[in-house]
Chains A and B, each alone.
Chain A
Amino acid sequence: MEKPFAITLDVGSSLANKTGSWRTERPVYVDRLPPCANACPAGENVQQWLYDAEEGGDGYERAWRRIMEDNPFPAVMGRVCYHPCERACNRAQLDESVGINSVERFLGDEAIAQGWRVEVTAPPSGKRILVVGAGPSGLSAAYHLARLGHAVTVVDSGPAAGGMMRFGIPRYRLPREVLDAEIQRLVELGVTIELNRRVTRILDAMREGGFDAAFLAVGAHLGKRAYIPAGSAAKVLDAVSLLRSMEGENPPRLGRRVAVYGGGNTAMDAARTAKRLGAEEAIVVYRRTRERMPAHEFEVEEAEQEGVLMKWLSTVKQADGEKLVIERMELDADGFPQPTGELEELEADTLVLALGQETDLSLLEGVPGLGVDDGVLTVGPNMMSGYPGIFAGGDMVPAERTVTVAVGHGKKAARNIDAWLRGEEDVRPPKHELAAFEQLNTWYYADAPRSVQPQLELVRRQSTFDEVVGGLDGATALYEARRCLSCGNCFSCDNCYGVCPDNAVIKLGAPGEPYAIDYDFCKGCGICAAECPCGAIEMVPEAI
């Protein structure tokens, strides 16, 4: 074609005009720390495994394996974790938090159903490690150490592995076949578990077994006994023993009316168990108000649904025969309960004490350099006690006593033990800046109310130990996973690629690095950053 000078031009010739020189600010892709991951005591990369799960199908296994990097018990976690991740979730400020816990449970159950397994990733280190206590913390440590190539022996005084997961949490919250399946995975990984064996002197045990290091996680199994005058006929026992005895052949006899003294989750477990054991009346006696109960709201609600009664602002003064003497309390200005002297009687065949638990530190006798504070062993930030080579975690160290915290301790200890054995320190990269809700552009997230997990009908909850809360089906789990806002991390939505008025965003499509800015043409308008749904683009001033 004959093109008249200047009047007619070749198409696309403006590519010669590099408009990037106009720019005063440049967009830069960033990764921010999602609040969920930040809040997870087990240090799970929650957002990442949700991202994998969003694809469904193979994504489920990828998601599960990603959980397994940090936590060997997804199915258990999906049931017993009090999911602080969901309290931190930014989506809560949009509608409702993402049901992370329910998705995790779905993935855990899917793994059991599909028989997914994990392998040891590292070559054998030749090191032997003794883990005392087969609870969540001990097993978690054993799992991670084994995957790091160490030979691990777990010793537990009890008849079965699981610790509080088995002897503290009722089966209606954690069916045993689920627990067994996930523990079995550890055994298949090569972890040796010796049951019904008590370690009395840790240093002897290590020397005799030729262990290079030890991780102690004996938990806190001794129920606290408050002094309560009790007549000979009075039947008083502590919640821990009650719950443990549920795992034995013959369940305990509690009578028609059971009083549980205490306000923690264990108290709720005890009361609900009593109800299931046939008690016509299970009543929780607590010296403060409901608001001040340490038990989680949902536990209290479920207990009440099942007919458990609550008696607030009350202390047990005395127990004998078939009745308790109760003193009414009132809260002072600081919210502490003060006796009023007003007494009343309460019919009760059994009094269950749920006043917290203590740790048995006897196995540490003779170990030099240890610090003990308020009945628990103090450890450093690397989970090592005052005695080199002896690490500890879970309920026996100062921390919130939850399964998830314990599992987290196990992982952290394992990493540190591994490093210590190599004469190194376990150094983690600094954490990214937290992804705040204000950094999101939530317009781009379509409305999606949280999905609800099914619950067992009441009759069966009151009479059987069947699991109360049901799991999500595949579609719902997928839906729930996709409610994730991917705070602070690109999820390849193509928005930046699409909204740039200068076509200055290049789509690479590479995993983890889906886009790049074409600084030849980017004028720095900032639309990409403003319209990034998840706040993964930052505008940085150009040095001029």
Chain B
Amino acid sequence: MRSQIEGSQAVARAVALCRPEVVSAYPISPQTHIVEALSDLVRTGELSPCEYLMVESEFAALSAAIGASAAGARTYTATASQGLLYMAEALYNASGLGLPIVMTIANRAIGAPINIWNDHSDVMSQRDCGWIQLFAESNQEAVDLHVQAFALAEELSLPVTVNMDGFVLTHAVEPVDLPSQAQVDAFLPPFEPRQVLDPGEPVTIGAMVGPEAFTEVKVLMHAKQMQALDVVPRIASDFEDAFGRGSGGLLRTYPREGADTVVVALGSVLGTIDEVVDELRAENVDVAALGIRCFRPWPLEEIRQALQGARRVIVLEKAFAVGIGGIVGQNVRLALSGLPVPVFDVVAGLGGRPITKRSLHTLLADVLHERIEPNQLTFLDLDRELVQRELHRVSQSPRSGPHAENILRDVGTVAAGSH
């Protein structure tokens, strides 16, 4: 049923429709509304049987989820930002043990400096922890992805994160079509764990594995995650058949493939990008948007297919790897390796800075008029003057070397030549 509802509430209801048996969580903005709502549904008995564990930390939240999942319960948790980092150790453990836990990440920046607003630094910092990572661009999709995530996790016996932009989606009130319990029950069969802690059939889970087998274990983990590249699209199409609504999958292109210029992005910014795409196409600029909905495993072939016809690709991402640059950009380059397609790395929306249509128009104009070079790390709406001043001041110190000057050049200062 369609309703005007806050993203967090919608996701909470969607999760409840999936009948999790254990929810363990620790409060952190902007994820809090989700688990608050779930604890309420458990308290009122609307969600039953379900145990809600109010734990003492994110580390404990995921640890309890690990125990619950290993004991054969459908298990859910949610976190964001520092909380995800505090979970880091357990993230690898959950994926290593192959426990199908589903976790919402209400994406948020990471300190220092402390910043509670949205970007993708949190999930990107854990991109290789062995979890399947899905990204929602709207609250409707967030709802749909959670239903798919449980199916996906339990089919592969792997943990899955559903990423939704903190505040931008979690706190946005917009129309969402929530499926009925009957629909979800029909789509999502009861959880049948692959391995379970059962006195009737005892096993030792989590053995110590030495050099003689560790590599093989890791290769098998990799192979298992790669299976998701087949399972994710299948589940998405099953979902469409069941709910009459397209959602999820590995990628989505708007309005169609084969454009000269393609903007690649993840999450809620895609909506704004689509708007810009429409406005530019109205001006006969051949531009399209490619949304990545499954970031891990990385759909390398599919992306290569989607982008091989483009003349240029702009990767707009809400995080970057300090000391090297774009993260999604690097992955895209890998997908395009050998093809003559220039990739523009653009970092935007860090720490909650709005990504506006105006800025995007400017960016595209700069790219199309070659005011930006490919392979140059670009920051949207950067206060260049401020950075220049600061870098320049630093460059005066004997401790700075030529790299500092290169950065100066990158941000467009001309001061570099002067010494």
Contact = CB atoms under 8 A, between A and B. Distances in A.
A and B touch in the complex (CB under 8 A): yes
Interface of A: 1-11
Nearest to B214: A6
Given A6-B217, A9-B203, A1 B209 contact: no
A6 B96 CA distance: 11
Contacts of A2: 194-195
B217 A9 contact: no
Contacts of A6: 207, 209, 213, 216-217
A2 B155 CA distance: 13
Interface in B97-124: 97-98
Interface string B186-220: 00000000111010011111110100010011001
Given A2-B195, A8-B203, 14 more contacts: A1-B198, A1-B201, A1-B203, A2-B194, A4-B97, A4-B195, A4-B220, A6-B217, A7-B207, A7-B209, A9-B203, A9-B207, A11-B202, A11-B204
A7 B203 contact: no
Contacts of A5: 213, 216-217, 220
A9 B97 CA distance: 12
Contacts of B206: 7-8
B204 A8 contact: yes
A15 to B, nearest CB: 13
A7 B96 contact: yes
B203 A10 contact: yes
Contacts of A4: 97-98, 194-195, 220
Interface pairs A-B: 8 shortest CB-CB? A9-B204, A2-B194, A6-B213, A6-B209, A11-B202, A9-B207, A8-B205, A6-B217
B1 to A, nearest CB: 38
Interface in B22-64: none
Interface residues of B, number: 19
Interface in B199-251: 201-207, 209, 213, 216-217, 220
Contacts of A1: 194-196, 198, 201, 203
B220 A8 contact: no
B198 to A, nearest CB: 8
Which of B97, B194, B204, B205 has the largest count of A CB atoms less than 10 A from its CB?
B204
Contacts of A11: 202-204
A7 B196 contact: no
Interface in B326-372: none
Contacts of B205: 7-8
Contacts of A7: 96-98, 205-207, 209, 217
15 contacts: A1-B196, A1-B201, A1-B203, A3-B203, A4-B97, A5-B216, A6-B207, A6-B217, A7-B97, A7-B206, A7-B217, A8-B203, A8-B206, A10-B204, A11-B204
A11 B209 CA distance: 16
B130 to A, nearest CB: 12
A8 to B, nearest CB: 5
A8 B193 CA distance: 14
Nearest to B205: A8
Nearest to A4: B98
Contacts of A8: 195, 203-207
Interface in B145-200: 194-196, 198
Nearest to B203: A8
